[in-house]
Structure 1
Amino acid sequence: MAATAAKSRAEPAMAFNADEEATVPAVPGSLIEAAVAVLNTAGGFAKAALTERAVEAWRAGSLPLLPDAGKEVPMPPAEPARPSYVELLPPGKVSNKSRLAGIHALVHAESCAIDLSWDIIARFGVRRGAGAGEPAAAAMPPAFFEDWVRVAAEEADHFRSWHARLEEWGGAYGCIPAHSSLWSSAMETADSLAARLAIIHCVHEARGLDVYPLARRKLDGAGDKLSVGE
């Protein structure tokens, strides 16, 4: 009965844009270009799919870090493309009190985490030429790229897994408004890798860990063993 009720509430808001999800861009010629391409991809599932393809190419050794010599190294956008079907509200205006809303918040957070992983690669991983004819170069050691490519792959997997759970409860990405506080913090730290790591990956992620036990108890108390991993 609960799942049926959730489905009836969610259906009116499922306004997916087929073009945003059906068209997944081809993987560009370098990891930095792929990172920017993911950031410029609007659809949540298209973003995850392009991530998976880029990760596969990188791990296969067919995707170099930088574009070919003489080709411009793209800059990451100030804000990533977002699905038109996801309404973004100020954080205080978004409620996560219901089970459906809580799972939807996790889906949205994972989509944002995909963008954050690629942004840190594109924004901090390359030293762009300062003058005409000066080549770009890696600004970080190989382990930096390996780590963040792995994180991007994990976030894409988390996005799909949580969305599958959301669908089981009758929802879908966009059925409830979301907020963009994660990206607001990312833009506030766009000029400093140390600040980015401290604010996003220590403060925000620590908050998530702080609320996890309570969220787990709520799901467990409601008999939702699948969402708590049992």
Structure 2
Amino acid sequence: MSERPGLSHAIRAALLTGEASAKVFAARQVARDWRLGRLRFDLGDDDAAPMPDRPAWPDDLDLLPPSQMPKRGKGGSERGRIALWHALAHIEFVAIDLALDIVGRFGGQMGEAFASDFLGVAADEAMHFALLDRKLASLGSHYGALPAHDGLWQAARDTAGDVGARLAVVPMVLEARGLDVTPATRDRVASSGDSRGAAILQRILDDEIRHVSLGTKHFSRVAAARGENPPELWRKLVESHFAGVIKPPFNDSARRSAGLSLEFYGALAS
């Protein structure tokens, strides 16, 4: 019987899949194959596949610096609605690669439970993107129809050398920001009569609370291994690796549910 394929090679192949629906399938397949024991944990081995500096994305995706992104327009207009759902779809699409990359890049030092947690996150993000892409199709649009910004992957590049920094910035800052802003977006969508859109956003919010919780859990492991206080280490790493600002309003109840207490972010809030 031949040896099972290595997890690192499956992750690298998914990261280098550019077409959107194919990446969704690839990410879900990696997560399923790992869960069913079809992949060998080779992360950290000498023959493990290296992670690419950046993943493949659709050829027709027009990437702009965040400062050059066009204004979305009013949310009540058809253009504004499409711009909203396109922006959300891009966030979830990049989140697939962020979850795959954290496993492939740091899974060797963090272990199999870490890999299982974040491969589950990758599968969730793939499902979120599929829901949002379907929503765009219902509006007569598609992912790639509008420009998108490259800021989320820049955060991955800035934290590629330190799992603590990656956890501090990606789940505990960027995804946590989603906990703050999604409820208001959901309520606006619901008030416009779009109950299906509101249900999609509620599903994403529920899952993202769990994702932030996983990031916080594994960050606390890193802090314990370094002999540091988790909130203090988080603040140091965010100040070193995150160029943005931590700003209110905060969804304190959702953050608490995710284990992210005010002790972490209160001192950095601007």
Give TM-score, length-normalised by structure 2. Answer: 0.66
Rounded Cα–Cα distance in structure 1 between residues aligned with 2:29 and 2:187 = 36
Greater shift, 95-104 or 176-185, is seen at 95-104
Aligned to 2:142: 172
Aligned to 1:82: 57
Please state which structure has a larger fraction of its residues in helix.
Answer: 2
Rounded Cα–Cα distance in structure 2 between residues aligned with 1:195 and 1:188 = 9
How many residue pairs align between the two structures?
A: 189
Rounded Cα–Cα distance in structure 1 between residues aligned with 2:156 and 2:90 = 15
Aligned to 2:87: 105
Letter of the structure 2 residue corresponding to residue 32 of structure 1: S
Following superposition, the deviation at residue 228 of structure 1 comes to: 0.5
Which of 166, 182, 185 is the aligned partner of 2:152? 182
Following superposition, the deviation at residue 93 of structure 1 comes to: 2.5
Rounded Cα–Cα distance in structure 2 between residues aligned with 1:42 and 1:74 = 18
**Is the contact between residue 96 and residue 105 of structure 1 (CA under 8 Å) also seen in structure 2?**
no
Following superposition, the deviation at residue 169 of structure 1 comes to: 1.1
SS in 1 for 2:198: coil
Do residues 205 (structure 1) and 205 (structure 2) align? no
Equivalent runs, 1:135-146 vs 2, <5 Å: 139-146=109-116
Q: Which runs of 5+ in 2 are unaligned?
A: 74-79, 201-270
Rounded Cα–Cα distance in structure 1 between residues aligned with 2:60 and 2:126 = 19
Do residues 125 (structure 1) and 100 (structure 2) align? no
Letter of the structure 1 residue corresponding to residue 41 of structure 2: L
Which of 12, 23, 30 is the aligned partner of 1:47? 23
Rounded Cα–Cα distance in structure 2 between residues aligned with 1:217 and 1:62 = 42
Rounded Cα–Cα distance in structure 2 between residues aligned with 1:96 and 1:66 = 44
Do residues 156 (structure 1) and 156 (structure 2) align? no
Following superposition, the deviation at residue 34 of structure 1 comes to: 1.0
Rounded Cα–Cα distance in structure 2 between residues aligned with 1:55 and 1:125 = 14
**Is the contact between residue 41 and residue 112 of structure 2 (CA under 8 Å) also seen in structure 1?**
no
Two-structure CA RMSD over aligned residues (Å)? 1.8
Rounded Cα–Cα distance in structure 2 between residues aligned with 1:204 and 1:180 = 14
Task: Give aligned-pair identity as a percent.
Answer: 39
Rounded Cα–Cα distance in structure 2 between residues aligned with 1:111 and 1:150 = 15
**Is the contact between residue 88 and residue 177 of structure 1 (CA under 8 Å) also seen in structure 2?**
yes
Q: Which runs of 5+ in 1 are unaligned?
A: 1-27, 127-138
Rounded Cα–Cα distance in structure 2 between residues aligned with 1:147 and 1:161 = 21
Give TM-score, length-normalised by structure 1. Answer: 0.77
Which of 199, 205, 208 is the aligned partner of 1:229? 199
**Is the contact between residue 88 and residue 178 of structure 1 (CA under 8 Å) also seen in structure 2?**
yes
Rounded Cα–Cα distance in structure 2 between residues aligned with 1:61 and 1:86 = 35
Letter of the structure 1 residue corresponding to residue 124 of structure 2: E
Rounded Cα–Cα distance in structure 2 between residues aligned with 1:76 and 1:164 = 30
Rounded Cα–Cα distance in structure 2 between residues aligned with 1:153 and 1:206 = 19
SS in 1 for 2:196: coil
Which of 185, 203, 228 is the aligned partner of 1:215? 185
Do residues 29 (structure 1) and 8 (structure 2) align? no
Rounded Cα–Cα distance in structure 2 between residues aligned with 1:38 and 1:192 = 22
